[in-house]
Structures are given as C-alpha cells and as structure tokens.
Amino acid sequence: MSEDSLNIIVCMKQVVDLQQIRIKRDTREPVLEGLPVLFGDMDKNALEEAVRIKEKHGAKVTVVSVGSAKLKETVLEALAMGADDASIIIDPACDGSDPATTALVLAEAVGKIGSYELILVGEGSADNYSGQTGSRLAEILGIPQITYVRELSVQGNTVTAVRDMEDALEVVKTNMPLAISVTSEINKPRRAPLTQILRASRKPLNVWSLEDLGMTPDRLGSAASGIQVISNVAPEQERKGIIFEGEVDEAIAKLVDALRKEGAVS
C-alpha cells in the first residue's frame, strides 16, 4: 500500500461547553439548554494528529460524528482545522445514546465510508470521559486498538505508538488497519484561521440519517441503551465556606488558628 492512499477517520463528539454549565439551586440539576456546543479538547487532539499525518505522508482525513442538528455548524471547525470531508449522523432516534449504541452507529458509518487504515479518537469524551466508544468500535470492526497514545508515527503499513500508562511508557508496534485513542499530550491542536473557516463550508459534508445507514431506531437511543440514568445532579457540598479577607497577617493568623482547631496542622 502506498502512503498516499492512507485514509484516516477521526470520530469526534459534540458536547456542550462544560465551563458554562450552571447548577439549579433547588434541584442541583445542571442547566444545559441554550449552551454553546463544541468538539471536546481530546477529540481535537485526535483530529490534529490526523492532519499532521496527512501533512507528512499525504492522507485523506474524514471526520465522523453523531449528534444534534447543531453538528452541521460544529463540524465546520473540524473541516477548517484540516479535515478533507465529514460525515455526520443526525437523527432524533440517537438521542439518549450511550457508548454502546454510539459505537454501533459509528461502525455503520465507517462501513458506508468504506476503506480506512486508521481510526483516531480521543482518550475520552469531554463530558463523560468513559473511554468506551473507541474500544467498542474497535471490537465491532474487529481491528486492534492502541489506547492512550502520546506519540505516533506511521511508516509504510506500520504504526509505532508510545502509550502513556500509569508507571511506564510503552512503545507499541502494529500494522494497519487499526484504531487509536490519543491523550492530550500528543499535540497542541491548531486554531483554524478565519479564511479556512470560511472555506470549510465548501468542503464535502454528508448528513446521514439512520435510514441512510440502513439502521432501524429500535437498536438505538435511550430505549436500546444498556444504561438507565436514575439521576444526574451536582454533588452536595458540605463545606464550611469560611473566607478570610483583608489584612494578610490577620487572615493567616485566623486560618492557622482554624486549622489547629481542626487538628490539620500542629
């Protein structure tokens, strides 16, 4: 296989801007309505790495994502960052999907796109960070996966990756096709220049429904999810919330006094 024919698929997840989530005082529920949506940071690391491989070896980079109608706009940033085209799956039946059902949809989308050598994902999504979707996708497709990758190089048909484990770095080699999950250490994603953002809307964008993928809604969404969410609320905080302000020496004296009473310092 010549390197020019490399096809890289990057799976990305659209999430609400987590920094802007407010918590309702009475119910401790998060307020998600009206929040801006964006791709997660590690998803952008995955895309950046694909674009770097393309710049070095020549490749076609395709973004795949499952999400709400807003995805049509969100995906423009990915195209502006250097993806060649994108296929997004927008279908109300996907609402309430979990990693298992999302992986099923992604697998069908990958099948429809056709040939690929590399599938890149972030180590975990920005919101749930469960890390399951990539692993499940690799299982469904029957390809090996290298997780937690912080350095990646491609030579011919061989991929060499440095995996970041708790106590060691593992250098791992294997042949494509292959799935890879990256950590945020692998690169610093570029900011798309404005000119590219304007051009991005001219790049090929497929918008698919489940029907386009030959899937029926009963296999998907919250009904098919293996997970039942009982509640999702901000944890109770039982902190004292005592604040010392003003003159520094006095504030320090009060703090140390309080910590001694707590037995936290001697």
| Stretch 172-191 residues interacting with other proteins (CB under 8 A) | 172-174, 183-185
Angle between helices 99-113 and 132-141 (to 10 degrees): 50
Task: Name residue, tokens 């999302």.
Answer: 102
Of 14, 87, 147, 187, which lies in the binding site for other proteins, with binding defined by CB under 8 A?
A: 147
Nearest distance from C-beta of residue 258 to other proteins, angstroms: 6
Binding of other proteins by 23 (CB under 8 A): yes
Binding of other proteins by 156 (CB under 8 A): no
CA-based Rg of the chain, rounded to a whole angstrom? 22
Helix or strand (DSSP H, E) at 38: strand 37-39
Judged by CB under 8 A, the stretch of 3-11, 71-79, 113-121, 137-145 that binds other proteins is 137-145
Of the two residues 151 and 212, which places its CB atom closer to other proteins in the complex?
151
Alpha-carbon span 120 to 8, nearest angstrom: 7
Of 117, 169, 182, 206, which lies in the binding site for other proteins, with binding defined by CB under 8 A?
A: 169
Alpha-carbon span 8 to 14, nearest angstrom: 19
Judged by CB under 8 A, the stretch of 73-81, 87-95, 97-105, 109-117 that binds other proteins is 97-105
Site for other proteins in 25-84 (CB under 8 A): 30
Nearest distance from C-beta of residue 213 to other proteins, angstroms: 19
Binding of other proteins by 265 (CB under 8 A): yes
Q: Quick check: 168 and 132 in contact, CB under 8 A?
A: no
Cα 68–chain centre separation? 15
- Those residues whose C-beta lies under 8 Å from the C-beta of residue 249, and which sit 6 or more positions away, are none
Nearest distance from C-beta of residue 195 to other proteins, angstroms: 27
Helix or strand (DSSP H, E) at 256: helix 248-261
Of 37, 140, 192, 205, which lies in the binding site for other proteins, with binding defined by CB under 8 A?
A: 140
Binding of other proteins by 12 (CB under 8 A): no
Of the two residues 114 and 246, which places its CB atom closer to other proteins in the complex?
246
- For the chain, the straight-line distance linking the first and the last C-alpha, in angstroms and rounded, comes to 68
Site for other proteins in 180-239 (CB under 8 A): 183-185, 225-235, 237, 239
Alpha-carbon span 149 to 46, nearest angstrom: 10
Nearest distance from C-beta of residue 16 to other proteins, angstroms: 8
Q: Quick check: 34 and 175 in contact, CB under 8 A?
A: no
